[in-house]
Structure 1
Amino acid sequence: MESRAGRDAVTGGEAVPAVRERTPSATLPAEDCSIVTRGLTKRFRSGQVAVDALDLAVPRGSVFGFLGPNGSGKTTTIRMLLGLAAPTEGTWELLGTPMPGGMASVLSRVGALVEGPAFYPYLSGEANLRRYDAADPAADPRTASARIGLALDRVGLAAAARKRYRAYSLGMRQRLAIAAALLGPRELLILDEPTNGLDPQGTREVRGLIKEIAAGGTTVFVSSHLLAEVEQMCSHIAVMRTGRLVAQGPIAGLRAGEAVRIRVETPDLAGAAAVLAASGLAQVRTGDGEVSAELGAAAPERICAELVAGGVAVRGLAVQRPSLEDVFVGLTGEGFDVNG
């Protein structure tokens, strides 16, 4: 029987191409995961399906990139995970506890940043965190100063604690939002587009912070539409498109399904193409002053020697390993934002 992900469909008037299904991490035991969903679905009264039968498995201790174009269902999924929106169908677990029944006991171990930070501009970073902390019924007010100081130090804002929020840079504001999510000890951190709208410096700051948090043993679930950012900081990914899960698993494993290519810069395109084909390489292509082919198991130094022996002038030779963009295009037949 043909898989659901492999059929053409129409959602909201938009044609969805057939895709290759790759969901290896969905087979992980639930006890090894910080987030598990089974058939999680959100259907609005208009009939629009925002999230369609999502089976997700987020390994404990991973930096997990939840990837997809804007409007693919990422924020809706996060809102369901946190109990901010009720699913139409399906079940989910956080930190091994079935939801929504376990919300009261689990959410104190989960930090979240959803749809951007909201702070008082005329208050300092420290004063803003005091208000966040005071709103937590589980927080002990006697230890508030220690918690706030630790959170600010953890995100690198201790020196700017008394500076007014309106004077913070974009990167500092995102750091403060993450500090608010870290006011208590967290086993799981859920971040919705944490680098959205940041300049390159702010993006680097937040990326480095996420890596530091994960190094301390916290599972970090990062929603993003920026391929380059996810590729630099995540160990695992899930790819969404129009509410459906296209693929999930370790980035290295998903890349393994894409071919490594060799690219040859030469003035003799026809001669180079003939040598590559004679060498047994597949998918030989010419264009823009170069010839490329799938390398397969061939050694690039052997191919270079055969080109020279065949009288082909080689100006440059490079081995191109598949990027996350290549994986996404291979899965869906299209691309989306690479750098923002």
Structure 2
Amino acid sequence: MTTPAPAATRPAARSTPERDARPGADADLAVATSGLTKRFRGGQVAVSDLDLRVPHGAVYGFLGPNGSGKTTTIRMLLGLVAPTSGTVRLLGEDVPAARARVLPRVGALVEGPAFHPYLSGAANLRRTDAADRTVDPRTSGRRIAAALDRVGLTAAAGKRFRVYSLGMKQRLGLAAALLRPRDLLVLDEPTNGLDPQGTREVRALVRELAAEGTTVLVSTHLLAEVEQLCSHVGVMSAGRLVAQGTLADVTAATPTRVALEARDREGAARVLAAAGVVGVAITEDGAAGELTAGGPDPERLLVDLVGAGVGVRQLRLERGTLEDLFVDLTGEGFDVRA
């Protein structure tokens, strides 16, 4: 694992006031919060001063260890919990002021699905659809069938919810979120309980929805899910957003490890240190260290090593991973299951 990146190389977690103040600054954002804070009774702060920026059309991976404030944030976005302070804008409109207009355009699966246990999957979706006064009831059957088919539950549509497996329950929750076209989909651990095949199918569904123009915010602990799905990422720790940006920009903040094999180990270490490689250490077969932002180019290292008479047998560069960054920023491990 790499050593922590210098603070200057990490992505800024907050937007600058200048950017927020510009007219139309949130025009390209499906989700925008400013100073969003939730303080519970007793003074416990679950979310602190959160400036979330989710661009239209993005698949945004919302990461953080348990208790970091992800679900509380999602509940505030959807108007299920009132913030202590700060503002929320979804799809260009203020929430909760424009909640009646905005929420029909938002599909959500939060903290697992909850349905009537003695009704079938299809019957539960009929009840859910009937509660939406903004849709045409004459198209209900067609939309329910399409939603069930999209999540692979057509064959189980007539089974009671109580006999569904955990994975099937997750699928039904996704179907409920897809009963009508959505501009924004908010998914809290969408692959929870799914087997590997089901997980791949959900990933394919999210990609398909994103290709159709739906913005997807995915709260997850699964590293593979983020790296395979997401265009953008935000990392929460202890209620604060500690990193945010495109996946490429955020992971670029991690140092690159350089390791070389050379007979003259001490000489190799001296050249690396003189070139600006940090944390240089002599290894069993050579020397190693880290290239941080603004450090030397690998090509220059080779020139310096050869110029110093250090015969290099092999030079390896290992880019820091999203897991490295997560551990660095939160101090906690990451669930890397596929």
Normalised TM-score (structure 2): 0.82
Corresponding residue for residue 209 of structure 2: 213
Shift of 1:76: 0.7
Corresponding residue for residue 191 of structure 1: 187
Could you list the per-position Cα deviations for residues 38-67 of structure 1 after superposition, in whole angstroms to 9, with x for gaps in the alignment?
111111111101111111111000001111
CA distance change for structure 1 residues 241 and 290 in 2, over 3 Å: closer, same or farther?
A: farther
Corresponding residue for residue 112 of structure 1: 108
CA distance change for structure 1 residues 18 and 272 in 2, over 3 Å: closer, same or farther?
A: closer
Matched, 1:260 2:250: no
Query: How far apart, in 1, do the equivalents of 2:84 and 2:336 lie?
Result: 34
Could you tell me which amino acid in structure 2 is paired with residue 322 of structure 1? G
Corresponding residue for residue 23 of structure 1: 13
Shift of 1:260: 2.0
- Equivalent residues of 1:94, 1:106 under 8 A apart: yes
Corresponding residue for residue 72 of structure 2: 76
Shift of 1:240: 1.1
Structure 2 counterpart SS, 1:65:
strand
Structure 2 counterpart SS, 1:228:
helix
Query: How far apart, in 2, do the equivalents of 1:280 and 1:90 lie?
Result: 43
Could you tell me which amino acid in structure 1 is paired with residue 44 of structure 2? Q
Could you tell me which amino acid in structure 1 is paired with residue 299 of structure 2? A
Structure 2 counterpart SS, 1:213:
helix
Could you tell me which amino acid in structure 2 is paired with residue 338 of structure 1? D
CA distance change for structure 1 residues 273 and 159 in 2, over 3 Å: closer, same or farther?
A: farther
Structure 2 counterpart SS, 1:299:
helix
Could you tell me which amino acid in structure 2 is paired with residue 102 of structure 1? A
Q: What is the RMSD computed on CA atoms of the aligned residues?
A: 3.3
Could you tell me which amino acid in structure 1 is paired with residue 248 of structure 2? A
Structure 2 counterpart SS, 1:34:
strand
Matched, 1:131 2:121: no
Structure 2 counterpart SS, 1:336:
coil
- Equivalent residues of 1:170, 1:202 under 8 A apart: no
Matched, 1:47 2:43: yes
CA distance change for structure 1 residues 266 and 117 in 2, over 3 Å: closer, same or farther?
A: farther
Corresponding residue for residue 338 of structure 1: 335
Corresponding residue for residue 322 of structure 2: 324
Matched, 1:88 2:78: no
Question: Sequence identity of aligned pairs in percent?
Answer: 60
Deviates more, 1:57-66 or 1:154-163: 154-163
Match of 2:177 among 177, 181, 191: 181
- Equivalent residues of 1:65, 1:223 under 8 A apart: yes
Could you list the per-position Cα deviations for residues 145-195 of structure 1 after superposition, in whole angstroms to 9, with x for gaps in the alignment?
111122123333334434554565544432221111010110000111222
- Equivalent residues of 2:10, 2:253 under 8 A apart: no
CA distance change for structure 1 residues 167 and 275 in 2, over 3 Å: closer, same or farther?
A: farther
How many residues get paired? 321
CA distance change for structure 1 residues 98 and 300 in 2, over 3 Å: closer, same or farther?
A: same
CA distance change for structure 1 residues 84 and 290 in 2, over 3 Å: closer, same or farther?
A: farther
CA distance change for structure 1 residues 267 and 329 in 2, over 3 Å: closer, same or farther?
A: farther
Query: How far apart, in 2, do the equivalents of 1:306 and 1:197 lie?
Result: 54
Shift of 1:229: 2.1
Shift of 1:138: 2.5
Query: How far apart, in 1, do the equivalents of 2:41 and 2:268 lie?
Result: 59
Matched, 1:298 2:278: no
Could you tell me which amino acid in structure 2 is paired with residue 221 of structure 1? L
Deviates more, 1:181-190 or 1:210-219: 210-219
Structure 2 counterpart SS, 1:318:
strand
Could you tell me which amino acid in structure 2 is paired with residue 71 of structure 1? G
Structure 1 counterpart SS, 2:51:
strand
Structure 2 counterpart SS, 1:31:
coil
Deviates more, 1:260-269 or 1:70-79: 260-269
Structure 2 counterpart SS, 1:294:
strand
Could you list the per-position Cα deviations for residues 112-160 of structure 1 after superposition, in whole angstroms to 9, with x for gaps in the alignment?
0010012345544323222221222323221101111221233333344
CA distance change for structure 1 residues 62 and 202 in 2, over 3 Å: closer, same or farther?
A: same
Shift of 1:272: 5.0
CA distance change for structure 1 residues 128 and 267 in 2, over 3 Å: closer, same or farther?
A: farther
Could you tell me which amino acid in structure 1 is paired with residue 323 of structure 2? E
Could you list the per-position Cα deviations for residues 241-288 of structure 1 after superposition, in whole angstroms to 9, with x for gaps in the alignment?
111111211111122222222234678755653564466644323457
